[in-house]
Amino acid sequence: MKTLRFAAVIVLLLICAAGWLMRFRFPSIRIEGIEVPGRVELGKEFPLTLSVLPRAAFQQDASMFIHFRGASPAVNADVAIPIPMRRWTPGKTARLGPFHCAIPAGARAGRYEIEAGFFYYGRDHLGRAGFVRIPWANRGVRDWTLGAVEAVLTPPRLWTPGDFGGRGYAVGYAGPLDKVFPEKGDYRGPVTDRVSLSAARNEFESFQLVVVPGAWPLQGVTIETEDLRGPGVIRKDGITVRSVEYVSTRQPYYDVMRTGPWPDPLLPLDEGGVDVPRDHVQPFWVTVYVPPGTPAGDYRGRITVAPEGLPRTAVELGLRVWAFELPATPTLKTGFDFYEYLVRKFYPKRPGESETAWRARSDAVCRDYYMDMLAHRISPIHNVGNPSLVGIAKGNYLLDFGEFDRRVEECLRAGQTDFGIAAEARIAPDEGIWSDGWYGFTGPDAVRGVFRAYGAHLAERGWLGRAYTYVIDESYRGVKSLTRLIHEGHPGIRTMLTCTPEDGYPDVDIWCVRLNNFDPGTTRRFRERGKEIWLYVASPTRPFPTIILDGSSLDVRVLPWICRRIGVTGLVYWCVNYWHLSDPWKDPMTWPDQNGNGALYYPGPAGPVGSIRLEALRDGMEDYEYLRMAGESGMDRGIEDAVGKVASSTWEYARDPKELLLVREMLGRLLDGRGTRAPDRGPAPGAL
């Protein structure tokens, strides 16, 4: 027994000694203060800023945990620390934030204690792997609690009979950046009988009409449009109306304003209209397309809301058409991947349908998705396919480019910027070359030969600057050897890598950097070497914006503004139809613990059903053209400052939709006065 007690004491002393020694391994950080509102509304964002005193250089892979404890489970609002914030000076107080947090709607009201600090993934002082808090041995921090907020409920909107004007329902307005939730008490937009818009030629502009039932539910609500008339005519077939539908989200790993029904799918209206329960509202997404060449000036028309058995409501629509035109092919390059195998999964062979007929039908469905992507100003990555191998003659690799050329020509006419060629590589680690997954063979001579033929054909067709290889994803393994072989085949073929730029890879032409890893100094250095810098977004990493279902539309729309602000020339997203793990209609958590990541489309019965996020993305791509043309025309200091506030950096951007929309209007007025016209680069996106 004495021996066991003695051994226990020795072990305890060793643990204490290890803990004391580990103090010198992990840098300590003293949190000196927190800035946060004392009172917040459930389901609404609020800012949180920390003041910290570091004792050593920041550990590069560390993040910050922010927890609100007052409910079970605690609200997790963890954030990544932007690279510029990490460059603090030891011994000097630094400010981190503001970070925008939320205690979700549906949580209980009351006091929430704020627990915050730093962590990284590694081993603690006992050698255990996992998330380690910094500073684990800082005596100035006991329980990590820094303050508290009082969370209060937002009272529901109270509707009165006067709001319905004797019709039995009301028609309200919401902008293209507003998320309208289905509960009647949550909708706070104005009741209106007129809407005003502005748009350039070759631009899509949207808004929402929100139908609010009175004392009784509504049946068969339909929306009718008419031509808009002014200096010219905008035909009603250029005005589309879709009903906003809802999918039910679950709690993800990141901070959200709420879970449950979220607006996202946009469904075409059928002849029977839409039923609206008494305690709900129903938004309708209205999009007006201004064709190229439309005379500038003011246009007027009406949109009529017609519930079954009730009086009709006419909403006056005014549209100002600016005297400038957006280019048919976007200036900002894009690469949004689309997985064709999932089309075959969600559009299976019908009873009695032959294999050939089914393949032809699924190919046609894929084309519909590609054309819809291009109509939204985003370019697919691997949509043009690869030429088939004819044979090898005297060391020359003969490829049949017939179908490849047809698809490239069609997509370029529809507005595609750049396109990926070849297939993703399966790397042989020792040699850095393809395995036999593409043309059925491998080896350095094969890689050189295939790309020699590819490059010669692309140069002949004038497409060499539009094609790129995206054959290795988020890995440096095999990159140096494979990109060298591609350039030995043809030096004009661009190679792209989705990694942070590093020295030692001279044959990488396009460095595609994830948003939260973007370092202005590093990217500037590689840009000066003649490299292209693109940006990509993937899983949610607060405080950086991304393209998820349960975030704000502003997060999506601001991405092209950020691209313009930081000077990157391309934007990449990993997938628009990732329905592999779930049917997005039934479970929008299409990636583990993430709602809507990789799924901007919903599989409709006959083809694509778009989303609010796609509309916000197209609006952002159109905004990019405003920014580019205004920059080329010359902006005064006031407008430049306003643009800077919309997107100050990769993580600092406007949180109020009115800020972005106001700047867009200012840019439109500037360009309208100059009458800037886009160069003729082919038909409008989606015109085919």
Contact at 8 Å (CB) between 210 and 281?
Answer: yes
Contacts of 338 (CB under 8 A, 6+ apart): 366, 369, 370, 373, 380, 381, 382, 383, 575, 576, 577
% of the chain beyond a pLDDT of 70: 90
- Provide the token pair at 361: 């039908």
Please tell me which residue, 368 or 144, carries the higher pLDDT value.
Answer: 368
Whether cis (ω within 30° of 0) applies to the bond prior to 292 is: no
Q: Distance between CA 13 and CA 17 in Å, rounded?
A: 6
Chain centre distance of CA 82: 18
What tens digit of pLDDT does each residue of 552-605 get?
A: 999 999 999 999 999 999 999 999 999 999 999 999 999 999 999 999 999 999
What tens digit of pLDDT does each residue of 516-555 get?
A: 999 999 999 999 999 999 999 999 999 999 999 999 999 9
What tens digit of pLDDT does each residue of 166-202 get?
A: 899 999 999 999 999 999 999 999 999 999 999 999 9
Distances (CA, A) of 213 to 170, 217, 280, 419: 7, 6, 7, 48
The SS3 of residue 159 is coil
Please tell me which residue, 140 or 319, carries the higher pLDDT value.
Answer: 319
Confidence class for position 278, pLDDT limits 50, 70, 90: very high
% of the chain beyond a pLDDT of 90: 76
- Provide the token pair at 300: 């007027």
| Residue 102, Cβ density class (10 Å: 0-12 exposed, 13-18 middle, ≥19 buried) | buried
End-to-end Cα distance, the chain = 87
pLDDT of 20 > 60? The answer is no
What tens digit of pLDDT does each residue of 46-93 get?
A: 999 999 888 877 766 788 999 999 877 789 999 999 988 888 888 899
pLDDT of 477 > 60? The answer is yes
Closest CA to 105 of 262, 261, 280, 257: 257
Q: Which of 378-382, 392-396, 462-466, 508-512 has the lowest mean pLDDT?
A: 392-396
Classify residue 186 by its DSSP letter.
G
Distances (CA, A) of 72 to 76, 107, 257: 11, 9, 16
Instruction: Identify the helix (H) or strand (E) that includes residue 12.
Output: helix 2-22
Please tell me which residue, 139 or 291, carries the higher pLDDT value.
Answer: 291
How large is the average pLDDT for residues 474-494?
93
Tokens 């993937």 belong to residue: 538
Q: What pTM was computed for the model? A: 0.92
Confidence class for position 15, pLDDT limits 50, 70, 90: low
- In this prediction, residue 679 carries a pLDDT of 42
- Kind of pairing between the strands at 129-134 and 110-123: antiparallel
Please tell me which residue, 329 or 28, carries the higher pLDDT value.
Answer: 329
Confidence class for position 22, pLDDT limits 50, 70, 90: very low
Distances (CA, A) of 184 to 130, 188, 211, 212, 437: 45, 9, 10, 7, 55
- Buried/exposed code over 220-237 (b: 16+ C-beta within 10 A; e: otherwise): ebbbebeebebeeebeee
- In this prediction, residue 566 carries a pLDDT of 95
pLDDT of 488 > 90? The answer is yes
Contact at 8 Å (CB) between 456 and 445?
Answer: no
Q: Which of 62-71, 225-234, 350-359, 495-504 has the lowest mean pLDDT?
A: 62-71
- In this prediction, residue 432 carries a pLDDT of 56
Mean pLDDT of the chain: 90
- Provide the token pair at 297: 């000036």
